[in-house]
Structure 1
Amino acid sequence: MEDVMFVLTVPAIWRDSTKEFMREAAINAGIPSRRITLALEPEAASFMCQNIPIEKLPSGKGFTISKSGTRYLIADIGGGTGDFTIHKKQKNGTLKEISKASGGAYGGINVDRKFVEFLQRVMGENAVKQLKEEATI
C-alpha cells in the first residue's frame, strides 16, 4: 500500500468538522493517514474535465475549459447535495476560484421528494400511496 494514495472527495459545503470525520473514518478503515488526501468534489470534477483524453469525447475536439482564460461553472449534483463554483483557467495552468463554492440540499434525493410532493398535490395522497405500493422498482 506504500505506492497508493487515497483521494476522498467531499462536498465543498461540508464543515471542516465533517470533513475531518471522513478522514478519521478512512483511518479507522485501515488507510494510513499519510496516504489520505481530501479533495472538494467541484475541484475534482474540474480536474477530471480538463484531463479527459480527446479520444474519449464524441467530437474528438476536447474541452474549451482547458484553454487559458476560460471561465466555467462546475455544478456537482449528487444524491443529497448540490455544490456550485466558478473557476478560471490561469495562464500558468492553475485554477482560480472566481466564486466561492456554495450549495445546499439540492441533490437527487431532494428532487425526488419534491416530485412526490407535487404528485400528491395533483393526484392526491391516496393515489401516490397506491402507486408506491404497486411499483416494482
Structure 2
Amino acid sequence: MNEEGSFTMCANHLRGSLVRTFATVGLLVTGALLATGCQSSDATPPDKSVNGTFTGELSSPTPGTYTVKNKTFHVTDDTKMTGYGIMCVPAEGKTSRACTPGQLQAAVDDDLVIAQVTIVDGVATRMIEK
C-alpha cells in the first residue's frame, strides 16, 4: 500500500470516529435538555411570607404545590405528615400512618383531603389529616 492509500484509510477512520463522537455528544446534550425540561424547575418557589397553622381542604394547582385556606405551600421529604385513611392508609391494627409526599399528591389528586397544616416560610413542616 502506498503512502497516499495509508493516509486515506487513516483519514476515513478518523472521520468515522469523529462522526460517532459528535453523534454521542449530540444525544447526551439532547437527553440532558429533555431531562431538565421535565424536572419541576417550573414549580413556583415557596412563598416565604406564608407562616402559620391552617385547617381546611387541600388542593394542588401543580404537582408539589398545595393550597389550604388560600395559602400556597410546598412539602418536602422532611414534612411530618400523618394520615388516617385518605392521605395514606394505616397498616392493619393501626389508626394512623406517616405519609410520603407521593402519597399526599395521589390523595389530593383523587380525593377530598382535609388537613391541619403548619407552614413555615412557605413549606409545610407538619400536616395532620382531619
TM tier, shorter chain? under 0.3
Give the structure, 1 or 2, with the largest relative contact order (CA under 8 Å, sep 6 or more): 2
State the TM-score, normalized to the length of structure 1: 0.18
Per the normalisation by structure 2, the TM-score is: 0.19
Larger-gyration structure (1/2): 2
